[in-house]
Structures are given as C-alpha cells and as structure tokens.
C-alpha cells in the first residue's frame, strides 16, 4: 500500500484528483469506479476545473458507481445519480451512455442487483476504484457484519442511517430504507484502489481498516489483501496511525 498524508482536505482532494487524472491521461478509455458522499466533493471540483482548463478529456471514460438508494432515481435530489450529475457528470464531457449506477427505481431487488452485476461483468474490471470510508469502516454500503457480501446486493439501512438521512428529505417524503451496493468482490476486482479520508472523525476507521485485523466487522479491512491500494488522507484522518 502506498500512503500519502496531506496537510488538509484541499491538498488531499488535489492529490487524489492528480492520481485520477493520471489514470485518464494514461488510458483515455479507462473504467473509473466512483463514490458519492462528502469526501470526494473536492476531488470532483478539481477534476471539473482541470477539464475546464482543457487539461482533461472524459469523452472515452466509462464510470461505474458503487451504490444507489432503492426507490430513488434522477427525479430525486437525494439520489446518487443526482449527486453524480450535479458534482461531476454534468460538468465534464462524460457521455451519458458511459456512466452507470445501480437502478434505484427498480424496486425488484433481485432483478436490480442481477442486472448491475451483469453490467459490471460486461464492462470489465475498474482500472481505478475511488472509495471513501465510513466511520465504522464501511465501503460502499457494505456495513459491518458476520461475513463479506461478495457481489452487488441489496442492504437494509440501519435505523440510525435512516434517521440521519431524514434531514435531507422534505417532511412527509419517504426516506429510503434499502440501498443497492457493489459487494466486496465487485470492489476488489479493481486493478487499483484509491481510498480517501479526511478529518479526525475518520481516524479510528483509517487505523482499523489499514492496520487492524482483516474482518467483516470492519468491511474496509479486506483492502489490506488487495495488491494495489493507495491511501490519500489528511493529518487528521491519519492521526491515530502515528501512535
């Protein structure tokens, strides 16, 4: 594993964006695995800025996202497809037919997961997979459990996640209780994995994921078994690894 420790969030974002842009320059038709959440926002801003300057071209890039809420599609601001359009897809020259997420509007979980699994198989391995880390060590929506879920699957969100999500939804609107996510095998298929983390509230997760036991109780810990992982995190997120 290669580790880059940066002074702060902005530097972390720039470093990670540099790694992603190097990938696109080296292989213009690469497959990028993408994540949502707060951490990648600075990366997507930086990539859009470099695209605007003419330094990056996404015209042949293919993207596959980690996850999507079951029941939500592009009509909902809270869906991950809306997040991706707003923060990256609509800001660069990615072709709409080249971007992929699980189909949250398909309420038939078995069918939705099977069809995303088939799509991932058809597209082939990610050249680079971007990952954020949950405070409990989750990756994608793979939450701590008794075993690693291998392929795309439907997860029931914990009550605390549902409650935390309520603030993003208008009163009376239904908050999703399930999500579709890539499994651990879908993630580990990537040729290279880029993990980003920022802030002291991620310090426990970074320590457990990269320096603790490999266990499904800390899903991200499986990344220790991948042979090409790059961790880019700021001082805060790395602070517990120095002790």
Residue 18 a catalytic site member:
no
Given a contact cutoff of 8 angstroms between Cβ atoms, the answer to whether 60 and 27 are in contact is: no
DSSP H helical ranges for the chain? 9-26, 41-52, 80-87, 109-123, 159-165, 184-188, 203-211, 235-238
66 binds ligand F6R (CB under 6 A): yes
138 binds ligand F6R (CB under 6 A): yes
Which residue, 134 or 236, has its beta carbon nearer to ligand F6R? 134
23 binds ligand F6R (CB under 6 A): no
Interacting residue with ligand F6R among 102, 104, 137, 140 (CB under 6 A) = 140
Q: Which of 98, 106, 138, 234 is catalytic?
A: 138
Query: Which residues ranging from 153 to 212 are in contact with ligand F6R (CB under 6 A)?
Result: none
12 binds ligand F6R (CB under 6 A): no
Query: Which residues ranging from 117 to 136 are in contact with ligand F6R (CB under 6 A)?
Result: 132-134
Interacting residue with ligand F6R among 13, 36, 63, 117 (CB under 6 A) = 36
Which residue, 139 or 222, has its beta carbon nearer to ligand F6R? 139
33 binds ligand F6R (CB under 6 A): no
CA angle (215, 219, 220) in 5-degree steps: 110
Residue 67 a catalytic site member:
yes
Concatenating the DSSP letter of every residue in 19-53 gives HHHHHHHH-TT-EEEE--SSTTHHHHHHHHHHHHT
Other beta carbons within 10 Å of 88: 24
The answer for residues whose C-beta is within 8 angstroms of residue 93's C-beta and 6 or more apart is: 51, 57, 58, 59
Q: How far apart are the first and last CA of the chain?
A: 19
Residue 55 a catalytic site member:
no
Which residue, 27 or 84, has its beta carbon nearer to ligand F6R? 84
In 3D space, the residue among 187, 182, 190 whose CA is nearest the CA of residue 222 turns out to be 187
Q: Any idea which residues carry the catalytic annotation?
A: 67, 136, 138, 143
Given the rule CB under 6 A, which residues bind ligand F6R? Answer: 35-39, 66-67, 132-134, 138-141
């Amino acid at each position: 594993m290669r580790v880059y420790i940066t002074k702060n969030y902005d530097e972390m974002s720039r470093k990670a964006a540099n790694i992603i842009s190097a990938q696109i320059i080296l292989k213009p038709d690469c497959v990028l695995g993408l994540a949502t959440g707060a951490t990648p926002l600075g990366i997507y801003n930086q990539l859009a800025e470099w695209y605007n300057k003419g330094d990056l071209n996404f015209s042949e890039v293919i993207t596959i996202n980690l996850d999507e809420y079951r029941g939500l599609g592009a009509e909902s601001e809270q869906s991950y497809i809306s997040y991706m359009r707003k923060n990256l897809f609509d800001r660069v020259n990615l072709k709409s037919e080249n971007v992929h997420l699980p189909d949250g509007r398909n309420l038939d979980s078995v069918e939705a997961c099977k069809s995303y699994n088939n799509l991932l198989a058809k597209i082939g391995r990610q050249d680079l997979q971007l990952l954020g880390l949950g405070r409990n060590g989750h990756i994608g929506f793979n939450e701590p459990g008794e075993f690693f879920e291998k392929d795309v699957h439907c997860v029931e969100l914990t009550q605390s996640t549902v409650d935390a999500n309520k603030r993003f939804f208008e009163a009376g609107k239904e908050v999703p209780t399930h999500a579709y996510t890539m499994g651990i095998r879908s993630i580990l298929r990537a040729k290279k994995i880029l993990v980003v983390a920022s802030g002291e509230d991620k310090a426990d997760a970074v320590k457990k994921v990269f320096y603790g036991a490999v266990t499904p109780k800390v899903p991200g810990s499986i990344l220790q078994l991948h042979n090409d992982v790059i961790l880019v995190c700021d001082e805060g997120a790395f602070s517990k690894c120095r002790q």
